[in-house]
Amino acid sequence: MLLRYFLYVSIFASENRWRVPGSSLNIIKLVKMEEKIIEQLNRIERYSMIAAKSMLTIDEAAIFTGLSKSWLYKATCNHTLPHYKPNGKIIYFDRAELDSWMKQNRISTAEEIEEAAKAYMVSTTGTNGHRKGGQK
């Protein structure tokens, strides 16, 4: 819409000999700005569509996980990533399964490790401060 308006203005200006300094440069800048805005709107629309879906294609799964499509193909080939092939060709992913798969192998923080070590030491020492069990 804006692009047509700027084209009409530029044609009218050239026919009527409007000579505003830098007007053609401003129109070019506005057209480029419009293209960037349209790209951003398309990206926002694509992300909102992905957020609303429960089953994702390989392209959408790549955007959702941040992994490359080739990595996803390798993971499905090695059966390390849960996926579906209803017609035998197109790969689909369940969004919840991808989410839980990405949350595997959680790494504990240093504070959590420290707390676990303290709890272990308390549970393995006797009332006299010596370790339970072992050689006598």
Residue ranges per domain, the chain? 1-52, 54-122
Cα separation, 99 vs 91, in Å, equals: 17
pLDDT in tens, the chain (136 residues): 555 555 555 555 555 455 555 567 778 888 888 999 999 999 898 888 888 889 999 999 999 999 999 999 999 999 999 999 998 889 999 999 999 999 998 899 999 999 999 888 888 766 666 666 555 5
Cα separation, 58 vs 70, in Å, equals: 10
Q: What is the pTM of this model?
A: 0.56
* DSSP character at residue 131: B
Cα separation, 134 vs 132, in Å, equals: 7
CATH number (3.40.140, 2.60.40, 3.30.2000, 1.10.10) of 54-122 reads 1.10.10
